[in-house]
Amino acid sequence: QLTDMQGPSVSFNQVREEKTQHQVGGTASGVPDSRTFYKRALPCPPAVAFSSSEGRTMFADALLDGTLQGFFKLIEQFRTQDEPAFCGLASLAMVLNALAIDPRRAWKGPWRWFHEQMLDCCQPLSTVIETGINLDQQAACLARCNGAMAELVRYDSLSEEKFRATIQEICASDQQHVIVSYSRKQFLQTG
């Protein structure tokens, strides 16, 4: 419920109904364009929605286990990607900012902050917008040329046991973060 001291109150349900009547990305008649989508359903299982009861329980358990140390610095830097192909750049910008690495150049005005548009030392953004970046070469290169220590570890170089132990170690630290590239097919997702 929102209340303006000068006028009537508006409930969130009223706002939602109004928004539904004026679809964004729809046709002139307000009908959504069939070539677009809004919030696709998360395939569960195998995925677990963060905001679900199970997701909240998993979060609470990880917090109690001490394996969410890096989460808080990352969530302070959370951002959505500006372009569909910028998932790697957005992830890297979040991590660089969470590590408090000074980009030594302005983002906007006097503010020095990493943003996707600033991560172009290994691949021109015009190429990234078309193809994205790969973890093998460009992501590690971008991390290093922007002041981070980056270790590239391929999935086939570790046993599952070692992989899990490494992830737990990193998640118990607020000085290390991990960016993972994976196939969404295993999670029954597209993208």
CA 120 vs CA 24, 79, 112, 173: distances in Å: 32, 18, 16, 28
Q: What is the pLDDT of residue 9?
A: 44
Do residues 159 and 167 make contact, with C-beta atoms less than 8 angstroms apart?
A: no
> Where in the chain are the domains?
67-187
**67-187 has which CATH code?**
3.90.70.30
pLDDT along the chain (191 residues), means of 10: 43 45 53 76 85 96 95 95 91 96 95 94 90 84 94 89 94 93 79 66
Do residues 178 and 170 make contact, with C-beta atoms less than 8 angstroms apart?
A: yes
Which distant-in-sequence residues (6+ apart) come within 8 Å of 188 by Cβ? 43, 46, 47
Longest dimension (CA), the chain: 63
Which residues on adjacent β-strands are paired with residue 3?
9
Q: What is the pLDDT of residue 190?
A: 72
The C-alpha atoms of residue 160 and residue 158 are separated, in whole angstroms, by 6
